[in-house]
Amino acid sequence: MISIKDLHATIDGKEILRGINLEVKAGEVHAIMGPNGSGKSTLANVLAGHEAFEVTKGEVFFEGEDLLEQSPDERAREGLFLAFQYPIEIPGVTNATFLKAAINEIRKHHGQDEISPKEFLDLMKEKAKKVGMDDSLISRSVNAGFSGGEKKRNEIFQLLMLNPKLALLDETDSGLDIDALKVVSNGVNTYRSEKNASIVVTHYQRLLEYIVPDYVHVLYKGRIIKSGGKELALQLEEKGYDWIKEEQVETV
């Protein structure tokens, strides 16, 4: 699905990613964990094509294509999706207008016809139900006046609507109470299939109780310093990050 090799990236001349290597195959869920400032969100944003970051070295292939050559909208049309840590409010643009534009651009890119109004409405109703959102959402402006939890829920709703090949979830659990966390996790689990993959960026192990990963990677100072199975997340929960940092120092 995606193959990241020796990825380096900077923002305002400051190096944040210092050689990331990661392989994600279809059907897999990878969790990226790490302390604040380790580069987790940067990795998600660089993969989605945020122009504030400059890739200085390395390569990324997504479904065999050079991802770094593509603009953010091209990446999305190829099947990449980023659930934002801080979703943006777009007053005056309804969720329906927003998602219809997105779906139709993706369809056009794949040589398909535009979605019919009926099909679109049915799809919205079906997916809104999955994340416990009211139908009235359709005519509401994108995230305008939403609470933090509603915004995160809306990100997962968009994920279900667009049904991408690869989902990047950037701290989707932050700021959620346990009920909202369950709803959001359920949404992601509905999305999971053998044909797609997810990279879940999180600071807390709690999310991984609901979205169970196949692999866990620890990011520290812009590098993956340890990888393991889902049990690694539990170890991190118990012992914190310091023991890995020490391990790292010893190996250096």
Partner 1 sequence: MPAESNLLKKYTEGFAAFEEKLNGQSETSFHKVRNEALNKLAELQFPTVKNEEWKYTNVSGLVKNDFEHPLNIETVDIDAALIEKLRIDDVDSDILVVVNGSFNKELSVLSDYPDGIIVDSLANQIKNNSELTEKYLSKLTKIENGFNALNTAYSTDGVFIYVPDNKVIEKPLQVIFINGSSENEVISLPRNLIIAGKNSQVSIIANYVGYGEKEYFTNTITEVYSGANSVVDLYKVQNENENAYHIDKTEVYQNRDSVFSHYNMSFGGKLVRNDINSTLDDENITTNYYGLYLGSNKQHIDNHTFVNHAKPNCESNELYKGILDDQSRGVFNGKIWVEKDAQKTNAYQSNKTILLSKEASIDTKPQLEIYADDVKCSHGATIGHLDDQAYFYIRSRGVSPEIAKSMLIRAFIDDVVEEVKIDNLKEQLNHMIFEHLHRVEI
Q: Is 49 in the site for partner 1 (CB under 8 A)?
A: yes
Here's the x/- map for partner 1, 95-124, by CB under 8 A: it reads as --xxx-xxx-xx--x---------------
Within 10 Å of residue 51's Cβ, how many Cβ atoms?
8
Per 3-state DSSP, what percentage of the chain is helix, strand, and coil (rounded to 5)? Answer: 40, 30, 30
- State the minimum distance, in angstroms, from the CB of residue 159 to partner 1: 10
- How far apart, in whole angstroms, are the C-alpha atoms of residue 188 and residue 136? 22
Which of the stretches 55-63, 87-95, 117-125, 236-244 binds partner 1 when contact is defined by CB under 8 A? 87-95
- State the minimum distance, in angstroms, from the CB of residue 88 to partner 1: 4
Token pair for 237? 């929960």
Task: Indicate the length of the chain as a whole number.
Answer: 252
Token pair for 189? 């689990």
Residues near partner 1 (CB under 8 A), total = 33
Q: Is 73 in the site for partner 1 (CB under 8 A)?
A: yes
110-116, long-range: CB within 8 Å, 24+ apart, which pairs? 110/77
- State the minimum distance, in angstroms, from the CB of residue 240 to partner 1: 32
- How far apart, in whole angstroms, are the C-alpha atoms of residue 230 and residue 172? 18
Q: Which of 22, 29, 34, 84 binds partner 1 (CB under 8 A)?
A: 84
Q: In the complex with partner 1, which residue's Cβ is closer, 81 or 215?
A: 81
Specify the 3-state DSSP secondary structure of 86: coil
Q: In the complex with partner 1, which residue's Cβ is closer, 39 or 79?
A: 79
The torsion angles phi and psi of 99, rounded to 5 degrees, stand at: -75, -30
Q: Which of 13, 64, 92, 145 binds partner 1 (CB under 8 A)?
A: 92
Site residues (vs partner 1, CB under 8 A)? 48-52, 71-73, 75-77, 81-82, 84, 87-93, 97-99, 101-103, 105-106, 109, 141, 158, 162
